[in-house]
Amino acid sequence: MEGMRIVLAGQPNSGKSTIFNAVAGYRAGTANFPGSSVSYTLSRAMVLGREVNIVDLPGIYSLTSTDAAEREALTYLLENDPDVIVNVVDATRLGRSLELTLQLMDLGKPMVVALNMLDEARRKGIDIDDRALAASLGVPVVPTIGRRGQGLKVLFREALRAGLSQIVPASPVYDNEVERAVAQVERKLEPAWKAEPVPARFFAIKAIEGDPEVIERLRTRVPGIEVIVEQAAAGLEKAHGWTADQVVSGSRHAVAHEIEDRVAVFHRGRVGWREMADRVLLHPVTGGPLMALILFSFFYAVFGLGKHIEDPLVAMFDGLGAWVASVLPPATLAGTVAKGVVMGVSGGVAIVLPYLIPFLLGLAILEDTGYLPRMAYILDNLMHRMGLHGKSVVPLMLGYGCSVPAVMATRILESPRDRRITTALTVLIPCSARTTIIYAVVGAYMGAGWAFLVYILNLVVVGGLGTLLSSRMKGRAPGLILEIPDLRLPAAKTLLAKTWLSLREFIVIAWPLLIGSSAVLGVLEWAHGSGVVNELLSPLTVIVLGLPAVVGVTLIFGILRKELTVLMLIQAIGTTNIAAALSPAQMMTFTVFVVFYIPCVATIAVMLREVGWKDTTWISAMTVVIATVLGVAVRFAFALF
Amino acid sequence: MKGAWMTTLERIEIGRRATVVEIVGGAGVRNHLNTLGIHVGDTIRVVERAPFHGPVLVEIHGTRVALGRGVARKVTVTEGAEAARTGGPGSGRGYR
Ligand SMILES: Nc1nc2c(ncn2[C@@H]2O[C@H](COP(=O)(O)OP(=O)(O)OP(=O)(O)O)[C@@H](O)[C@H]2O)c(=O)[nH]1
Ligand SMILES: [Mg+2]
């Protein structure tokens, strides 16, 4: 079969993306929290000398979706007719994972189970007989340790074989009454079900479980089916005394745990550092202060490290700039373009990278240890006061890296209202680009304390705005329901790969943009074009914010990429020494304004896709208003004190 | 099994076990909890309770799940572990 499509499906955090990356190269984000992938990733890969397509799906707990990320995975499975399903199972959560496996088996596709995380299972004292598991399920089972690449060759060989043979697993058999009810609905569907990729049985089960989307879908195919479904469900309820959905899922639960009991032996696991660490990290008294300490140290370490690297680099590039200016006088067109290019290059190397690299590494560590869901747990009651709940902490924290994946990550929130509010707040969080600005302007010239103040101010605004928006929107999610994965030591290789993935984005996309923009600004200056822009913006920049007129054009470039504001500023004032052009009050005003004002184009694009143009418009407009108000406030606060 | 010792998961002390009797408050929360492996008849251990009405951290079949207080209040339980999974819908029957 040419271009066979192998789809990785499984519960969240089971290691799908890790296995995908092992064969496709690091391109799908991995992290130690449920919901690290919220969209599917497709890649071509060579498996045993054959070219295949491999698809990494977002994690799903079951085939009934509770949030947008799960919906995406589900839609993919139902609409795209995969050739093989590789069900990645976390061996330390075998019973629960099998509940999904049983549902996947009803999709009527060839299937292979990857029994992953065997190293963790061993540590926890869980022994699983993979042959017995394969026999119980009637599906090939391959033991794997995704993180070390163990077992993956065998896994994909089995997947290929399953794809070529197209042997479909037998449907699992549930409780007698459930089977009777399913058969009742299935019989009605059968005549209309010719050459469908997904068998009628799957939809019959989902309909009896009361999935409204499925019932609607069946109704258009077989009018009147909802009556039969209702009869079947009522019969189940009468026989068991529980609602039909509970009977079906309870029956699946029972079957899954029966299999687990048969194939797994639990020994006494070791109580290791993970349990000890969790005791203090989540302790009612120590948990909160420790979190503050962790975040503060993170902030300080990045700043200290960045500053150490930045200073000598800036000195060096200033020397280079002076030399270029002496060879090619800035008054000529060639000179002004050369100056622009040097500034673009040096801005990237000397100002952005020193902070960006340690920052991305630190963030990767937070993600891979599994600390993010713990923050969601600790901050849940605070978020409740804002009218959201703890899960929103995950996208917000990711926002410190980059707003684009952070806006995508709001897909893990169950209620559309929480998603909209969290999206609005996420874009206000200073992403790594804005962090560079805070560090390189306020931090470097005014001191770390002032930089810290910008973050605190930001959090206060986010908190206030969140409370305001929450009080005006209805439809709050019932509360926090979040799996807390075990703590894990991050693998150095993954950390580096992940940092590199974000860094490459900067180098390939942002940097050329920086250099190009610098050259454009050079030409603009030479032609006195930037003066016109500055003039037009001066009511805002000069009169309202009290900044020098030269910042005008930098704010326009900043919409492309936030880093551009500082880099363009340096170029406009002709030196990397920002203190030469801005007073401390102006630095603070400028930084605060830039942190809050309009999201960059990439963020606007992703917002348009995720929340639609209406929300995108009011959120963007709101950021400009907030930025202006705060900018003025900072200006006058400095004037007064 | 209704009796005087029925309470909600919100009320269970740290380190104690409880058995789920019912999940109230609509199919939404119930389905969500079901997919995370929490069903009627299961035994849950409370690992930690966050202060100021924060969430409770519970352990179920070897995995840990954080449940907001509002959610924990919807889980009716009896203190102590059942000897076997009984009384749950669809439990222990039918698989050949
Ligand atoms: N110890 C161990 N860790 C693993 C193994 N496979 C993956 N991991 C780690 O488990 C975590 C989750 O892995 P991911 O690949 O992001 O999981 P996923 O299934 O894609 O998760 P979602 O996208 O959230 O559904 C990461 O921190 C991985 O490094 C394994 O076999 N052993
Ligand atoms: Mg993933």
ipTM of the complex as predicted = 0.88
A280: distance to nearest CA of chain B, Å? 11
Residues A395 and A330 grouped into a single domain? yes
Assess B87–A contact: CB distance below 8 Å, yes or no: no
CB distance from A61 to chain B under 8 Å?
Answer: yes
The tens digit of pLDDT for each residue in A72-95 reads: 999 999 988 899 999 999 999 999
Q: Each residue of A433-452: pLDDT tens digit? A: 899 889 888 988 999 899 99
Same domain (yes/no): A469, A607: yes
In A34-129, alpha helices (H): 68-79, 94-105, 118-123
Query: What pLDDT is stored for residue A1 in this prediction?
Result: 55
Same domain, A308 and A428: yes
Q: Give the residue with greater pLDDT, A524 vs A610.
A: A610
* Within-domain flag for A21: yes
CATH code, A142: 3.40.50.300
- So what's the pLDDT on residue A37? 87
Query: A544-564: per-residue pLDDT in tens?
Result: 888 998 888 889 888 888 888
**What phi-psi label fits residue B92: left (phi over 0), alpha (psi between -120 and 50 degrees) or beta?**
left
Which residue's alpha carbon is at the smallest distance from atom 16 of ligand 1?
A: A30
**Residue with CA at minimum distance from ligand 1 atom 13:** A15
Q: Looking at the domain assignment, is residue A485 inside a domain?
A: no
Q: Is residue A338 part of a domain?
A: yes
* Contact by Cβ (8 Å): A423, A565: no
B-chain CB neighbours of A418 within 8 Å are none
Q: Are A373 and A351 in contact (CB under 8 A)?
A: no
Residue nearest (by alpha carbon) to ligand 1 atom 11: A32
A383 has a pLDDT exceeding 50: yes
Domain-located, residue A364:
yes
Is the Cβ atom of A117 under 6 angstroms away from ligand 1? yes
Domain definitions of chain B by residue range: 6-79
Pairing, β A126-128 against β B6-8: unpaired
Worst-scoring range by mean pLDDT, A43-52, A193-202, A572-581, B49-58?
A572-581
Q: Flag whether residue B70 sits within 8 Å of chain A, measured between CB atoms.
A: yes
Q: Is 70 exceeded by the pLDDT of residue A2? A: no
CATH 2.30.30.90 for the B6-79 domain, yes or no: yes
Residues A241 and A389 in one domain: no
What is the C-alpha to C-alpha distance for residues B71 and B74, in angstroms, rounded to an integer? 5
Report phi then psi at A282, rounded to 5.
Answer: -110, 5
Q: Is A613 left (phi over 0), alpha (psi -120 to 50) or beta?
A: alpha
Does B84 score more than 50 pLDDT? no
Mean of the per-residue pLDDT values of chain A: 89
Is it the case that residue B89 has pLDDT exceeding 80?
no
Collapsed DSSP state (helix, strand, coil) of residue A635: helix
> Which of A114, A135, A165 represents a domain boundary (last residue)?
A165
Same domain assignment for residues A350 and A440: yes
As a whole number of angstroms, the distance between CA A230 and CA A208 comes to 7
Determine the residue of chain B that is closest to A126 in CA distance.
Answer: B62
Lowest pLDDT segment from A250-259, A292-301, A565-574: A565-574
Among residues A114, A185, A180, the alpha carbon closest in space to that of A153 is found at: A114
Distance CA A36, CA A52 (A): 24
Closest CA to B51 of A484, A282, A370: A282
pLDDT digits (tens, 9 = 90+) for A465-522: 999 999 998 877 788 999 999 999 999 988 998 898 888 878 887 778 878 887 888 7
- Averaging pLDDT over each range in A51-65, A507-521, A571-585, which range is the top one? A51-65
pLDDT at residue A103 greater than cutoff 90 = yes
Residue A224 to residue A227: CA distance in whole angstroms: 6
pLDDT at res. B2: 46
- A494: Cβ–Cβ under 8 A, 6 or more apart, which residues? A18, A30, A147, A364, A368
Q: What is the CATH number of the domain that holds A258?
A: 1.10.287.1770
Nearest to A377 among B34, B66, B70 (CB): B66
Query: CB of A11 closer than 6 A to ligand 1?
Result: no
Instruction: Among B2, B10, B43, B48, pick the best mutation site for testing chain A contact (most A Cβ within 10 A).
Output: B48
Tell how far the Cα of B81 is from the centroid of ligand 2, in angstroms.
35
Which of A140, A165, A190 delimits the end of a domain? A165
Same structural domain for residues A439 and A302?
yes
Mean pLDDT of A365-383: 94
Using a CB-CB distance cutoff of 8 angstroms, which residues of chain B are in contact with residue A253? 34, 37, 39, 88, 90-91
Residue A119's pLDDT is 93
Question: Ligand 1 pocket, A17 CB below 6 A?
Answer: yes
The rounded Å distance from CA A30 to ligand 1 centre is 6
Residue B90's pLDDT is 52
The number of folded domains in chain A is 3
DSSP state letters, B40-94? TT-EEEEEEE-TTT--EEEEETTEEEEE-HHHHTTEEEEES--SSS-SSTTTT--
Any bridge partners for residue A53, and if so which? A5, A44
A259-292 burial, b at 16+ Cβ within 10 Å, e below that, comes to bbeebbeeeebeeeebeeebeebbbeeebbebbe
The nearest CA of chain B is from the CA of A153 a distance in Å of: 29
Q: For residue B88, what pLDDT is reported?
A: 57
Which pLDDT does position A534 carry in this prediction? 87
* Chain B CB within 8 Å of residue A512 CB: no
Residues of A in contact with B93 (CB under 8 A): 175-176, 251, 254
Is residue A519 one of the residues assigned to a domain? yes
Type of residue at A236? L
Nearest to A550 by CA among A579, A523, A570, A576: A570
> How far, rounded to the nearest angstrom, does the alpha carbon of residue A132 sit from its chain's CA centroid?
37
Q: Which of A251, A285, A478 sits opposite B71 (nearest CB)?
A: A478
Tracing tokens 């020994």 back to the chain, one arrives at A267
- Ligand 1 neighbourhood includes A59 CB (under 6 angstroms): yes
Angle formed by the axes of helices A244-263 and A176-189, nearest 10°: 120
CB atoms within 10 A of CB B51: 12
Could you tell me which residues are beta bridge partners of residue B57? B48, B66
Rounded Cα–Cα distance for residues B67 and A70 (Å): 20
Check whether residue A156 and residue A223 sit in a common domain. Answer: no
Q: Which residues contact A500 (CB under 8 A, 6 or more apart)?
A: A26
pLDDT band for A270, please (50, 70, 90 cuts): confident
Percentage of chain A exceeding pLDDT 90: 49
Beta pairing partners, B58: B46, B65
Domain end (from A119, A137, A165): A165
pLDDT value of residue B4: 45
Q: Are residues A145 and A24 in the same domain?
A: yes
Q: Which amino acid is at B14?
A: I
Is residue A271 assigned to a domain? no
Kindly state the average pLDDT of the residues A91-119: 95
Same-domain pairing of A116 and A242: no
- Which residues does chain B have within 8 Å of residue A282's beta carbon, measured at their own beta carbons? 48, 50, 57
Stretch (H or E) spanning A113: strand A111-116
Boundaries of domain holding A38: 4-165
* Per-residue CA distances from A226 to A178, A201, A222 (Å): 17, 15, 9
pLDDT of residue A457: 95
DSSP state of A347: I
**Probe site for chain A from B24, B35, B43, B52 (most A CB atoms < 10 A):** B35
Average pLDDT, chain B: 81
